[in-house]
Chains A and B, each alone.
Chain A
Amino acid sequence: MIPTGIDDKYEIIRILQESAATAVLLVKYKPIGAFRILKAIHKASPDADSILSEAHLLQGIKSSQIPTIYDVDNTKEMIYFTEEYVEGISLRDYLYKTKLQKDELLKIAIDICKVVECLHTAGNDPIIYRDMKPEHIILQNEGLKLIDFGIAVRQSEARSAKSVGTPGWAAKEQIEGSHIDARCDIYSVGKVIEFMQENSYVSEDIRLKKIVAEATEADLSKRTKTIGEVKEQLEALAKIDNNNKGRCLAKKIAVIGADHGVGTTHIAVGLNRFFNRRHIDSYYKDIKKDTVHRLWENLKGARIKESVLYHKDFRGLLNYGEAVEHYTPPNGLYILDCGTDIDIPTDVDLIIYVIGSAPWNMRLYPKWIEDQEVLIINNFSDKITSYLEAKALGKKVYRYPLVNKRLGLTKEEEGFFKAIFKNEKVFKV
């Protein structure tokens, strides 16, 4: 359908999309000679109202990353509206030509999150975009814009909306029409980030993979709850990278055990003491348990100040409940004791993976231990066992010294950490 009756205002430059009842045109607005996109639909079409709803949706959003609506009008035969012509290159075309660096990938991903966040927080009734894919992301000199709001809906109307979406990009529940809410967009954003990662120099980055995995989780209850959370995770990752680039600073070390009883807590506490002894402010934090609270109960001479437990070289972060006033966590190097949870935090700089050598210890290791930011420590082992482990894993394995002392740091342990962290000052915050 080629629209008629618009010649007085618009000159058709190119037909971008055409069907029997609809048309998308690149037009020139005659009075000022500016390019615009004109979307038209025949009045007889059963979807005639949809074009107006798209215009209404876009009018309600205040963002420079969304095309501006200029005009909504109708002729004898059709309803049409014109919007800003977005110049630039689509993300898909860009990725055909370019392999992304990590900082560029994160910048684009954060910008995508920002625009989706803007939709999800538009007024009292959030807008669900439902059509996130690389073709709809237009990269410009500074930033990006999101185009094509043809199937976007308000949350309140989501239940009666048609089940549409692009397979491969849209969430299963969106395509099936079973449940439509902001999490559908989170899934699609995750898929776009995954697509970018595949076309980047950081295709194996475990932290980015984890963000993607959480955002594209098939189980709705386990999926990242808000787009703001995805944005925060990406920003945290970008912050670490910037820090590492500039002065090679690190802030978090995760200590994870391959099995129970391999000495994860002992090594994490020892590491904390090692850094503090060397005047690098370090704080131990147990992610899963209340270890620091138990230490306060049982250690003589331990004192608490602003949610930090001090005992000789040890400093541990207390995780108070709701009924204690809030204290700002201190700056420093955090040693995170993750127990046996391999679901590692995304924003860590280094992972220490502790393995045991007893015959009953678990020998199934996650694939991410191959990453260069993962150090493997073999506890309670002899030289031969460590050598065999290193050979099997194809990676250096550090053998932790055998110690009798339950608390405190022995000379052997200090020497061990000193050997691993030859340049420990890079961890100074």
Chain B
Amino acid sequence: MKRFLRFNNWNKNNIIRKNKKTIGIAGVSSNYGVTHISISLANFIHSVLKKNVTYVELRDRSQLIGAVGDKVVDIAGVEGYKYKGVNYVCGCDIQKAKAVIAQANGWIVVDVSNIEDDSKAIYFQCETKIMIGSTQPWKRKYYYERLRTNDIRMNLNNIKFYDTYKNKRKTKEFSQITKQPLQTLPYVEDPFSLKEKNFEALREMIM
């Protein structure tokens, strides 16, 4: 009661935190289109849901600066870029990413790309965790290998699993093994020019 009377709960920062949500997107291994879907989600959050959003690229070498790096802005004390309303922090190391996630307001989309020892700490701190893989016969072993790792096994219920390849039988098989649903990744033609047909699927991913 005393705490309430001291208006501790009325702290401005508490209100801002409510508008904050972190989404981590990772691939079972490289080349599953994690960056493509991460950018799509960031643009969807800004242009359709009308929220403030920061995209964090957790990678040594940025693939994005050429596309989004025209306008330099300050994002929570870190140099970033603004493109079509989305804030981009490109080519982040772990420390920089942690600082941005702690300081930036609004939604944060973390492109983890590939979960490694140092990046997994950030991925598992995200409120919404998305993992992308494939159940195609020549790729599915990587998916199951990844699921067998301790970190993933312990967080199975908190991760949304996506497949780049639509196959009802494989999806059912995946669900039987992992007890988790496997959804098909939406096909977004251009992440910088979204179409309404993708909205429901993108919303489903982040909600």
Contacts and interface: CB of A to CB of B under 8 A. Distances in A.
Interface in A255-298: 290, 293, 297
Interface stretch (B45-53, B134-142, B158-166, B176-184): B45-53
B47 A320 contact: yes
B196 A323 contact: no
Given A321-B85, A323-B85, A293 B196 contact: no
A297 B199 CA distance: 11
A306 interface: yes
A325 interface: yes
B90 interface: no
Contacts of A324: 43, 47-48, 193-196
Contacts of B43: 321, 323-324
Contacts of B195: 324-325
Given A304-B199, A306-B196, A322 B84 contact: yes
A304 B85 contact: no
B86 to A, nearest CB: 7
Contact of B85 (A305, A307, A318, A322): A322
Nearest to B43: A323
Contacts, number: 46
Interface residues of B, number: 17
Interface in B45-102: 46-50, 84-86
Contacts of B50: 290, 293, 319, 321
The prevalent SS among residues of A at the interface is loop
Interface string A301-313: 0001111000000
Contacts of A293: 48-50
Interface in A73-96: none
Contacts of A318: 48
A322 B196 CA distance: 13
A105 B44 CA distance: 46
Contacts of B192: 323
A325 B193 contact: yes
B86 A304 contact: no
B196 A305 contact: yes
B86 A323 contact: yes
A329 to B, nearest CB: 14
Contacts of B86: 323
A321 B52 CA distance: 12
A290, A319, A322 — which one has the most chain B CB atoms within 10 A of its CB?
A: A322
B49 A323 contact: no
B74 to A, nearest CB: 21
Given A321-B50, A323-B44, 19 more contacts: A293-B50, A304-B199, A306-B196, A319-B50, A320-B47, A321-B43, A321-B46, A321-B84, A321-B85, A322-B47, A322-B85, A323-B43, A323-B46, A323-B191, A324-B43, A324-B195, A325-B193, A325-B194, A327-B196
